[in-house]
A and B are shown apart, each in its own frame.
Chain A
Amino acid sequence: MRSGASKFIFALIIAALAVGWVYLRLDPSYTVENNLELNANYYPSITSERLEQR
């Protein structure tokens, strides 16, 4: 695979992290705890506690 494509993927990841960091600054309510609460009905059986039990 050409190195140009590799550079593109890495640049995409860096850019995504940068944009995400800005968004997190603008929206303080976007947190892990809030997301977990909102996703309570999405695959409810998959939780940190259950996965640690396995």
Chain B
Amino acid sequence: MRADPFLVTIIKWVCWSFVAGVGISNIIGPRDPGFMMRMWTLCGIFFAISVYLYFAARPLVKYSLLPAFIVFGIASYQYRFDTTNPDHVIHLRDTDRWARTSVRGVIDRAPDVRDWITHIVIRPLEIDQGSGYRELTGRTGNIIIFVSQDIRAENPYYDTMDYGDIVRVTGAITEPMRRSNPYGFDYAEYLMNQNIYASMYVGEPENIEFLERSDLGIFGRVKSFAFNLKDRMILGLKKTVPPPYSAFIGGVTVGARGGVPEAMRYDFQATGVAHVLALSGLHVGFLALMLIMLFNTFFKSRLLFYEIPSKIFRTEVDLTPHSLKLIPVFVVGALAVFVIITGARPATIRAAMMYSIMIVISSWFGMTLSRSGGLTIPMSAAVMLAFNSFLIFDASFALSFTAVWSIIYLNAPIRRMFTSIISGWGQAAFFLFVILAISVLVVTPWLIYNPVFIQIFLLFMALLFGAAYLLERKFPLTGFNFEAWWPGISGFFCAQLAIQIGMMWPLSGVYFNRFPIAGVLANFIAIPLIGIIVPLGLIGQLFTFIPVAGESLGLAMGATNMLFSRFFLWMARFFRTYFPYPVQSAPTGRWLMIYYTLVIIFAFNSDIRLFLRKRLKITRKGANWAVGGIMLLILSSGYWARGITVGGHRDPEETLITFFDVGFGNSVMIQAPSGKSILIDGGNRGDRRWWTMGRFSSGEAVIIPNLSGYHIPALDIMISSNPLPENLGGLVYLSEHFNVRSAWSSLDPERFRRGIGYEEFLLNLGDLRLEADSTSPLPIGVYLNFYDYLNTGLLPYSDMVEMTPVQRLLSRDTVPHRHLVEGTVIHREEAPGGVFLLEALGPPEERYRGTDSDIRNNSAVLRLTYGTRVFLFTSGIQSEAEWDLAERYGDGLRADVLLVPDHGSTSASTRRLVETVSPSYAIVQYGYLRGRSFHDSQIRRTQGRYEERGAKVLRTDKAGAVEIRTDGSTLKVNTVLKEMN
């Protein structure tokens, strides 16, 4: 059977049309149900026209099918948003977090067992919210239940929770945690993509109860079989490989990442091989090849399919050609089971579908594998989006498809480039570039953050390649070209470079805010290694199913795999240690469009040149120059045009101030009209060893993603208002991983130098209470944070001015560190809305001593004035400093917006300050931190003081981050979690 070329073209284009429709719908966003009905109607009309054209004028049918599928894609996406069913869990959420709602539901997927908690997802069947159980019908959405391990001792069901169980869960149905800052990971959206719209928490043993097993149905039984198989494979792994290699191999074979240490995960991310741990198309590919090989060998067996049947039927019987047709059935079935086992992530579904389609159409329709790539990509994308349209911008989905598109379409042009252009001396220059780049990165990794160095290096490389090109024309270097490479190496090289160009370089910033420089090299080692570890791991686990000798075989296989894993982990740690992992700002939409236009032209450049020569009768040389010229034109357009940005942004004359939600901590981002970026404090550091350091790293989880989302490639001014961990902690991470141009501190850098001892630190700090209590966690935590802060690229400004330009270029320490006291002007500029001035009102030259908290009273107090608008940032000052400020400045302290002192503590925000400042908006940066912060009741008392004076109080723990835009005369205030204006 042969594939009809017309049919193949139609299938390709309708699939792309459907994908385009889903993408368009994602951009326009959710609409009312009436819009969806209109789309379905339009879709029906187009389909009816298509049916007519198919019989009346077949070649024209694609012109009606394409719009039909675009509209179909739009309607499908809108359908996913349809939560109008009154029984949908989105309408059943409790407003009271202590509610005792009881839900009966069926566990809809395999439990996700983690260190201290297990996640289960239930499809609700009945609910009791105080008036008896009632049945839920229609599309209800799912609920994720977080079951604490604490219940294990009294509730043994914790260890036997399984897919298909019907359970009763009691507790409050709450909204999943939404992103509370302008940019960053949105957990609620991530869950919504999996049809999960609510969450519950089980912390008491009686709040979850097993009722009965559900009737799974045929698909459910297949899933149950797959989950059981996975558990048995994990058991086989536990028997044959010791930790932590068991966790690693479990992760790369069946997606069991429960035991992977945090440090190991970070090593993989930093070296760009995290896709190895997150099951992806790579693993499915290895499995598919292994299955094809096994079934090929089995089904080609002459003994099984010729000799035995011939003996039985006493005649010539050759079943082999027919048996070979069964290979796709078994491979597809095995891949489907694998997808279920590994949690059905988009990347694995994509790969399994593509391999399945490829093997079917090549076995049954005779299409070559390379040609089938053009069909399998849109088909698998369309099928996946038909089931879940929200996948369109899921990271796993986007990265997976981009990678495979790159491998299929960029491989050949890259090979041609290395064969014809980068050959001879060009290739020698290329290897010299690689060796130089590696040497620089290993010996002096901090140079990658130095823009001067980057420019010099790129100029040098341009000259090098230019010289190589000229040398090749005059004195060709024969024998040193791409064709001489071993085909396996050259093919692998082209594929890896294709992935870097098509996926890693543009999309690392979008999804990860980081660029793994080691990724290019690490993947050359990692991928072949994984090609050994994954098959050995799967086979070793399956060996343990064999009775008697199985465990011994599995043990031997496990021992070898452990050695390979050990080398793999060592390699990841090596690259992580010696190669930087810099932050990369999210590219703008315009940048991405320009970049991918260039990539597409590069991918199809031979077709474009052929078109120019055949249709426009241009010479070969002319066509080459034409393509190059078009690419240069598109590239240069990026420099002249203002772009569409990924997220909402500010107007040129606006100042944008963002009060981040960093839990219990301070962090404020200011973007001046000129584009200068200023950050005051960085929230907590998130080191669980010290209770003073918060629960999560604000620098990593909040500030970096938001700098990236705001397209800020370098921070101009970083200010530390005081050395308390909830203010300074996040700045340590930022200094280590981001390009910071200058830093200000309330502590004098000349007296607080790198390597300062603990006693000297406390003495210089001058806080009598901390000195008296020097063995308690707070002063130790303050010191540790500050010590690490100084150990980043900071250098006292006076030392920096003495350095020569070369010393400054090669020095690791490039951030001038200055002291701010009352009267210091940090930044001033003239702007359309008036003068922009950021100045310090405190601490005074003569610091506070002997107060209730000297460290807090000596915080930097900053005032920002833009036009007629005033903002006051009071950090952690207490009553003593507040009275002093009010005495010294009087009415000069008035402000439109006040950052409430000390997170809303009642020991600050005295009546004197509140009356003197008299703000219109009072922002409280607060989040409950057990053992460190105070309670909500205290905040409400403080809140009352401001509201009595007519101020609007915004708390970051309730409203999320607060964004304020001002053009110097008006104020626009928005909160991330609730719109208000």
Pairwise interchain contact B557-A45, C-beta atoms closer than 8 A? no
Chain A residues, Cβ within 8 Å of B536: 12-13, 16
Pairwise interchain contact B559-A20, C-beta atoms closer than 8 A? yes
**Quick one: given A20-B560, A43-B258, A45-B159, are A6 and B555 in contact (CB under 8 Å)?**
no
Complex: how many Å from CA A20 to CA B113? 31
Complex: how many Å from CA A1 to CA B296? 8
Chain B residues, Cβ within 8 Å of A53: 160
Select B556's contact among A12, A24, A34, beta carbons within 8 Å.
A24
Pairwise interchain contact A19-B555, C-beta atoms closer than 8 A? no
Query: Which of the listed residues A16, A44, A45, A47 has the most CB atoms from chain B within 10 Å of its own CB?
Result: A16
Chain B residues, Cβ within 8 Å of A20: 555-560
Can you list, as one digit per residue, whether each of B828-862 has a CB less than 8 Å from chain A (1) or not (0)?
Answer: 00000000000000000000000000000000000
Complex: how many Å from CA A6 to CA B535? 13
Chain B residues, Cβ within 8 Å of A24: 555-556, 559
| Minimum C-beta distance from A3 to chain B (A) | 8
Query: Which of the listed residues A32, A51, A54 has the most CB atoms from chain B within 10 Å of its own CB?
Result: A32
Select A19's contact among B162, B258, B563, beta carbons within 8 Å.
B563
| Minimum C-beta distance from A11 to chain B (A) | 12
Pairwise interchain contact A9-B159, C-beta atoms closer than 8 A? no
Select B242's contact among A12, A16, A38, beta carbons within 8 Å.
A38
Complex: how many Å from CA A10 to CA B558? 16
| Minimum C-beta distance from B335 to chain A (A) | 15
Chain B residues, Cβ within 8 Å of A54: 162, 228
| Minimum C-beta distance from B616 to chain A (A) | 43
Complex: how many Å from CA A38 to CA B247? 12
Pairwise interchain contact A35-B238, C-beta atoms closer than 8 A? yes
Q: Which residues of B231-250 are within 8 A (CB) of A?
A: 231-232, 234-235, 238-243, 246-247, 250
Chain B residues, Cβ within 8 Å of A39: 238, 242-243, 246
Complex: how many Å from CA A1 to CA B256? 30
Residue of A nearest to B558 (CB): A20
Pairwise interchain contact A1-B293, C-beta atoms closer than 8 A? yes
Can you list, as one digit per residue, whether each of B532-563 has a CB less than 8 Å from chain A (1) or not (0)?
Answer: 10011001000000000001010111111101
Q: Which residues of B253-293 are within 8 A (CB) of A?
A: 256, 258-259, 289-290, 292-293
Pairwise interchain contact A19-B560, C-beta atoms closer than 8 A? yes
Can you list, as one digit per residue, whether each of B156-175 has a CB less than 8 Å from chain A (1) or not (0)?
Answer: 00111010000000000000
Pairwise interchain contact A6-B293, C-beta atoms closer than 8 A? yes
Pairwise interchain contact A16-B557, C-beta atoms closer than 8 A? yes
Select A23's contact among B162, B239, B559, beta carbons within 8 Å.
B559
Chain A residues, Cβ within 8 Å of B228: 51, 54
**Quick one: given A16-B561, A35-B239, are A43 and B234 in contact (CB under 8 Å)?**
yes
Residue of B nearest to A27 (CB): B559
Pairwise interchain contact B560-A41, C-beta atoms closer than 8 A? no
Residue of B nearest to A26 (CB): B559
Complex: how many Å from CA A1 to CA B294? 10
Chain A residues, Cβ within 8 Å of B289: 1, 5
Residue of A nearest to B540 (CB): A16
Chain B residues, Cβ within 8 Å of A44: 159
In the complex, the number of residue pairs spanning A and B with C-beta atoms less than 8 Å apart equals 106
Pairwise interchain contact B555-A31, C-beta atoms closer than 8 A? yes
Chain B residues, Cβ within 8 Å of A6: 293, 296-297
Chain A residues, Cβ within 8 Å of B158: 45
Pairwise interchain contact A9-B535, C-beta atoms closer than 8 A? yes
Interface residue count for B (Cβ, 8 Å)?
43
**Quick one: given A5-B289, A12-B536, A50-B159, are A42 and B243 in contact (CB under 8 Å)?**
yes
Complex: how many Å from CA A38 to CA B113? 18
**Quick one: given A1-B292, A9-B290, A42-B258, are A23 and B242 in contact (CB under 8 Å)?**
no
Complex: how many Å from CA A2 to CA B965? 64
Select B240's contact among A5, A9, A32, A45, beta carbons within 8 Å.
A32
Complex: how many Å from CA A54 to CA B230? 14
Chain A residues, Cβ within 8 Å of B558: 20, 35
Chain B residues, Cβ within 8 Å of A41: 243, 259
Complex: how many Å from CA A9 to CA B289? 10
Chain B residues, Cβ within 8 Å of A48: 235
Pairwise interchain contact B238-A51, C-beta atoms closer than 8 A? no
Chain A residues, Cβ within 8 Å of B296: 1, 6
Main SS at interface, chain B? helix
Chain A residues, Cβ within 8 Å of B297: 6
Complex: how many Å from CA A43 to CA B294? 31
**Quick one: given A9-B293, A16-B560, A20-B558, are A42 and B247 in contact (CB under 8 Å)?**
yes
**Quick one: given A6-B296, A9-B535, A20-B556, are A35 and B563 in contact (CB under 8 Å)?**
no
Complex: how many Å from CA A32 to CA B232? 15
Residue of B nearest to A39 (CB): B238
Complex: how many Å from CA A32 to CA B295? 31
Pairwise interchain contact A43-B238, C-beta atoms closer than 8 A? yes
Q: Which residues of B28-47 are within 8 A (CB) of A?
A: none
Can you list, as one digit per residue, whether each of B289-312 has a CB less than 8 Å from chain A (1) or not (0)?
Answer: 110111011000000000000000
Complex: how many Å from CA A19 to CA B559? 8
Complex: how many Å from CA A41 to CA B113? 11
Pairwise interchain contact B557-A30, C-beta atoms closer than 8 A? no
Pairwise interchain contact A32-B555, C-beta atoms closer than 8 A? yes
Residue of B nearest to A38 (CB): B242
Pairwise interchain contact A35-B231, C-beta atoms closer than 8 A? no
Complex: how many Å from CA A8 to CA B559? 20
| Minimum C-beta distance from B448 to chain A (A) | 37
Chain A residues, Cβ within 8 Å of B560: 16-17, 19-20, 23
Chain A residues, Cβ within 8 Å of B258: 42-43
Can you list, as one digit per residue, whether each of B401-419 has a CB less than 8 Å from chain A (1) or not (0)?
Answer: 0000000000000000000
| Minimum C-beta distance from B566 to chain A (A) | 11
Chain A residues, Cβ within 8 Å of B553: 17
Complex: how many Å from CA A35 to CA B553? 15
**Quick one: given A47-B235, A54-B228, are A42 and B293 in contact (CB under 8 Å)?**
no
Pairwise interchain contact B243-A38, C-beta atoms closer than 8 A? yes
Chain A residues, Cβ within 8 Å of B239: 32, 35-36
Pairwise interchain contact A51-B231, C-beta atoms closer than 8 A? yes
| Minimum C-beta distance from B428 to chain A (A) | 32
| Minimum C-beta distance from B237 to chain A (A) | 8
Chain B residues, Cβ within 8 Å of A12: 532, 535-536
Select B231's contact among A5, A30, A31, A46, beta carbons within 8 Å.
A46
Chain A residues, Cβ within 8 Å of B557: 13, 16-17, 20
**Quick one: given A16-B557, A51-B231, are A23 and B563 in contact (CB under 8 Å)?**
yes
Chain B residues, Cβ within 8 Å of A17: 553, 556-557, 560
Select A51's contact among B235, B294, B532, B559, beta carbons within 8 Å.
B235
Chain A residues, Cβ within 8 Å of B238: 35-36, 39, 42-43, 46
Complex: how many Å from CA A41 to CA B559? 20
Pairwise interchain contact A35-B159, C-beta atoms closer than 8 A? no
Pairwise interchain contact B242-A35, C-beta atoms closer than 8 A? yes
| Minimum C-beta distance from A16 to chain B (A) | 4
| Minimum C-beta distance from A52 to chain B (A) | 11
Pairwise interchain contact A50-B160, C-beta atoms closer than 8 A? yes
Residue of B nearest to A19 (CB): B560
Query: Which of the listed residues A12, A23, A45, A48 has the most CB atoms from chain B within 10 Å of its own CB?
Result: A45
11 example contacts (A-B, Cβ-Cβ < 8 A) are as follows A1-B292, A6-B293, A9-B290, A9-B535, A20-B558, A39-B243, A42-B238, A43-B113, A43-B238, A46-B235, A54-B162
Using A42-B238, A45-B159 as known contacts, list a sample of 13 further A-B pairs with CB atoms less than 8 Å apart, ordered by residue number in A: A1-B293, A1-B296, A9-B290, A12-B532, A24-B555, A30-B242, A32-B555, A35-B246, A36-B239, A41-B259, A42-B259, A45-B158, A50-B160
Using a CB–CB cutoff of 8 Å, the interface residues on chain A facing chain B are 1, 5-6, 9, 12-13, 16-17, 19-21, 23-24, 27, 30-32, 34-36, 38-39, 41-48, 50-51, 53-54
Pick the 9 closest A-B CB pairs, nearest first: A20-B556, A45-B159, A39-B238, A20-B559, A42-B259, A23-B559, A16-B560, A20-B560, A32-B239
Using a CB–CB cutoff of 8 Å, the interface residues on chain B facing chain A are 113, 158-160, 162, 228, 231-232, 234-235, 238-243, 246-247, 250, 256, 258-259, 289-290, 292-294, 296-297, 532, 535-536, 539, 551, 553, 555-561, 563
